[in-house]
Structure 1
Amino acid sequence: MDDHRPGGYAEFEAFVAGAAGRLLHVALLLTAEPPDRPVAARRLLAGALAHTYANWRRLRGDDPYAATRQELCTAFARTGRRLHGGPGVLARLGPLERLVLVLRVYEGVAEEVTAAQLGLPVERVRVLCSRAVAVMRSAETAV
């Protein structure tokens, strides 16, 4: 792409245009906010995209979606305990369970990759995911 601005970030803009919706959905799942008031989710996403933008030249050869999702999850892990869950079903989960469930089930990230990204043993990721799925299933049967 021909970009006349310093740094040539037209590719970054194209990335945001294509990935922002899905990344916002990930942020909404993490924060358990209602989709019509995604205050914390938008804040998390903006921070993750700012980080991606700042590192865009370095990320060009890598997967920018994975890098942005990783930053989004890292930011959530740092702030998750301070966020108040919304009324959604995922609000029943603790922040770490929610994070593991979103990465493993919604995003399809392998256990080993999830464990490495979160700095946890694979077995801990497996336990957190199983617990989160059990909570979700019990919520389904309660309805």
Structure 2
Amino acid sequence: MRERQASQGARRAREFEAFVAGAAGRLLHVATLLTAEVPDANPHARRLLTLALAHTYASWDRLRGEDPYARTRERLVTRFAHETWYRHGGRARRQPSGALVALAPRERLVAVLRLYEGMAEDQTAALLGLPADRVRVLCDRAVAALARPAYRPAPAVRGPEVAPS
């Protein structure tokens, strides 16, 4: 009996390891987009991914044909949404510095799911517990914000250089 449990545990660990080897890079990218951190400095994204993967591993035997990537992404999104919307009143906890910094957390979440992950509007709405019309508005707003060039002050104008005589 112990040998069978040990072999099942080893098989479970190998399967999960293979899943992580194949999916962790993309999931980390999703987490980094959500947190709007830069890829080289993304501690919040790494923490979100670690917690989501731990949850997936804990329920690995109960997946029963379910897609582990979808389950992990769902957990990642849920944790991000909970931390951002409920604990911080819709504001990001840390000051993000990545390319998606111009977006509000909900807009960023919808944009990442719809545009990067390719989730359908109805699926995104169901995952986030929002009406499909609201998801459409958030996505449109995010795309419009990303299409606008970022405001940068004009460089200082210097006068003509005069050569010393």
TM-score between the two structures when normalised by the length of structure 2:
0.79
Residue 56 of structure 2 corresponds to which residue in structure 1?
52
What does residue 86 of structure 1 align with? Answer: 96
Contact 1:31 1:85 in 2 (8 A): no
8 Å Cα contact 1:40-1:83 kept in structure 2: no
Q: 1:7: how far off? A: 6.6
Between Structure 1 and Structure 2, which shows a larger proportion of helix residues?
Answer: 1
1:1-143 to structure 2, matched below 5 A, reads 4=7, 6=9, 8-9=11-12, 10-80=14-84, 81-139=91-149
User: Which structure 1 residue ranges, 4+ long, deviate > 4 Å from structure 2?
Assistant: none
Amino acid at match of 1:104: R
> In structure 1, what is the Cα distance between the partners aligned to 2:22 and 2:67?
13
- The answer to whether the Cα contact below 8 Å between 1:31 and 1:83 also exists between their aligned partners in 2 is no
Aligned equivalents of 2:10, 2:60: Cα separation in 1: 9
Task: Check the 8 A contact 2:38/2:99 in 1, yes or no.
Answer: no
TM-superposed CA distance for 1:85, in Å, is 4.0
Deviation at 1:110, TM superposition (A): 0.3
Contact 1:31 1:86 (8 Å CA) reproduced: yes
Q: Deviations over 1:87-134 (max 9, x none)?
A: 222111111110000000000000000000000000000000000000
Structure 2 CA distance for aligned equivalents of residues 74 and 4 of structure 1: 33
Q: Is the 8 A contact 2:100 2:108 kept in 1?
A: yes
CA RMSD of aligned residues (A): 1.7
- Aligned length, in residue pairs: 140
Q: Give me the identity figure in percent.
A: 61
Rg larger in 1 or in 2? 2
CA distance, structure 1, for counterparts of residue 80 and residue 28 of structure 2: 13
Ranges in structure 2 where 5+ consecutive residues have no aligned partner: 1-5, 85-90, 153-165
